[in-house]
Amino acid sequence: MSNDPIHQFQISKLIPLDFNGLDLSFTNSSLFMVATVTAASGFLVWATSGRGLVPGRMQSIAEMSYEFVASTLRDAAGTQGMKFFPLVFSLFMFVLVANLFGMFPYFFTVTSHIIVTFALAMLVILTVIIYGFWKHGLHFLGLFVPSGVPGALLPLVVLIEVISFLSRPISLSVRLFANMLAGHITLKVFAGFVTSLSALGAVGIGGAILPLAMAVALTGLEFLVAFLQAYVFAVLTCMYLNDALHPGH
Amino acid sequence: MFISNAWAEEQSGAHSSTDGATHTETGAVHDAGHGGVFPPFDPASFASQLLWLAITFGVFYLLMARIAIPRISSILEVRRDRISQDLDEANRMREEADAAHAAYEHELAEARKNATAIAQKANDEAKAAAEAERQKTEAGLAEKLAEAEARIAGIRAKALGDVDEIAAGTAETIVKELLGGTVTKADLAKAVSEAAKQGA
């Protein structure tokens, strides 16, 4: 069981809750969601509590994350996009901290479950759709009709645009989920090689050096992926929100 | 997807049996979904994950939107204001310094000009005084010279007059000694003046 690379994604109920056959138990996943939110908001609130004119280290980190997300959003969606800043910042911080928590041994990775990433992606897409229709009415559908396309090609282009729009929540959620899942499985597999090879005696211990080096390298890579995927999620969110703000291509 | 399907197919029998068991054993802590479905694709955990994600992310969003973001943005704004204020202050001070420098330069140029003027004036005055003194002295000298010349001329004329007289006396004596005769004074004077004319 300890070498089963899938075991780390197991959901286990900590406080079983059942509503008319609907299982709403507080699980290890829920625990790590709470931990993620507590750590992220606790850090941001605590680090900025000094309100220093000259920031300390912790306040610098909080300000840097703020400025980082703000500049990403401003670049992608303009100044108008700043009304979505709390959403984008929350998504970025939540995904980032959840991913980084997943790097601790024996910790559960919240973002390694497709339902979580899909729910976050749907939150983004529904925000885009609802805001788009609320702000632009039916003009929002102009998103699917790029200007300057010859009439004969237009139906095909519109079809492609619609398909690409519908695939957004799927690509957005699967990208994050698959990255976290694959990374953790790979890490686990290589770490498993180390233990199973070293059980074979002196030759095995010598042979275990290679997968151990791989596991170390992969750990570094996974930290990069944890950050990068949170960033990619935030950037794509900004780009999709830009469509809601400016539907005309 | 591919893995999960294969996994699900392989374990479908086991899963359905545990699924039945799950419902009968509600309440008891057991590893539901451990029966075989690849955990991330196990729909049994979806409802719970969605609920807790909604709760935690909702709380997180509120904390960010109400506390963290306004606080950080106010910190950044205060800093930006402070920096621009300080820059304005610095600019103002620099302008003041420039103005003071310009005033100083102006004063200095003025003072230089005044100094030149004063020096010039003093120089001119000194020159004028010296000139006046010189002229006065020259005038005095010229007067004395003229006086002296007049005196010399007087003395000379007197001396010349005496010379005629002496010459006449001498001539009379000589004539008397040599010729034994007498000569009238008028003749003597006439002869002396003629001789003086010829000698001259």
Return the higher-pLDDT residue of B35 and A3.
A3
**Partners of residue B68 in chain A, C-beta under 8 Å:** 41, 44-45, 48, 62
Write out pLDDT tens, residues B139-188. Answer: 999 999 999 999 998 898 888 888 877 877 887 788 777 877 677 777 77
The predicted pLDDT at position B70 comes to 94
DSSP string, A107-121: ---GGGSHHHHHHHH
- Nearest to A51, CA basis, from B78, B85, B139: B78
3-state secondary structure of A15: strand
CB proximity B178 to A under 8 Å: no
Per-residue model confidence (pLDDT) at position A47: 92
Choose from A7-16, A230-239, B12-21, B181-190 the range with maximum mean pLDDT: A230-239
Both tokens of A245, joined, read 């703000």
What number of C-beta contacts closer than 8 Å exist between A and B? Answer: 146
Which chain A residues have a beta carbon less than 8 Å from that of B38? Answer: 6, 9
* Alpha-carbon gap: B93 to the closest alpha carbon of chain A (Å): 23
The DSSP bridge partners found for residue A27 are: A13
Q: Are A124 and A173 in contact (CB under 8 A)?
A: no
Looking at residue B3, its pLDDT comes to: 44
> For A145-154, A182-191, B52-61, which range has the lowest pLDDT when averaged over its residues?
A145-154
Please give the angle made by the CA atoms of B160, B162 and B166, to the nearest 5 degrees: 115
| Cβ separation B64–A9 shorter than 8 A | no
The verdict on a CB contact (< 8 Å) between A30 and B42 is no
Of the candidates A14, A33, A86, the beta carbon closest to that of B56 is on A33
Nearest by CB to A115, from B27, B30, B46: name it. Answer: B46
Distance from CA of B55 to the nearest CA of A (A): 9
The pLDDT of residue B4 is 43
Element (H, E) at B197: helix B185-199
Q: Per-residue pLDDT tens for A23-38?
A: 889 999 999 999 999 9
What gap in Å lies between CA A149 and CA A158, rounded to an integer?
Answer: 10
Per-residue pLDDT, B197: 78
* Nearest chain A Cα distance for residue B15, angstroms: 14
Q: By mean pLDDT, which of A95-109, A150-164, B118-132 is the weakest?
A: A150-164
- Residues of chain A with C-beta less than 8 angstroms from the C-beta of B28: 16
pLDDT single digits (tens) A48-72 = 988 888 888 999 999 999 999 999 9
Residues 6+ apart with CB under 8 A from A120: A91, A94, A95, A173, A176, A233, B53, B57
pLDDT at A141 over 60: yes
The more confidently predicted of residues B196 and A134 is: A134
SS (H, E, C) B88-154: HHHHHHHHHHHHHHHHHHHHHHHHHHHHHHHHHHHHHHHHHHHHHHHHHHHHHHHHHHHHHHHHHHH
Averaged pLDDT, A98-110: 93
Q: Cβ(A96)–Cβ(A37) under 8 Å?
A: no
pLDDT per residue of chain B (200 residues) written in tens, 0 to 9: 344 444 444 444 444 444 434 443 333 334 444 457 888 888 888 999 999 999 999 999 999 999 999 999 999 999 999 999 999 999 999 999 999 999 999 999 999 999 999 999 999 999 999 999 999 999 999 999 999 999 998 898 888 888 877 877 887 788 777 877 677 777 777 877 887 777 65
Closest CA to A69 of A51, A50, A87: A87
Q: Which residue in B has a C-alpha nearest to residue A177's C-alpha?
A: B40
The string over B156-194, giving b where at least 16 C-beta atoms fall within 10 Å of a residue's C-beta and e elsewhere, is eeeeeeeeeeebbeebbeebeeeeeeeeeeeebeeebee
- Nearest Cβ partner of B52 from A33, A55, A86? A33
Per-residue pLDDT at A249:
56
So what's the pLDDT on residue B24? Answer: 37
**Would the CB atoms of A93 and B71 count as touching at under 8 Å?**
no
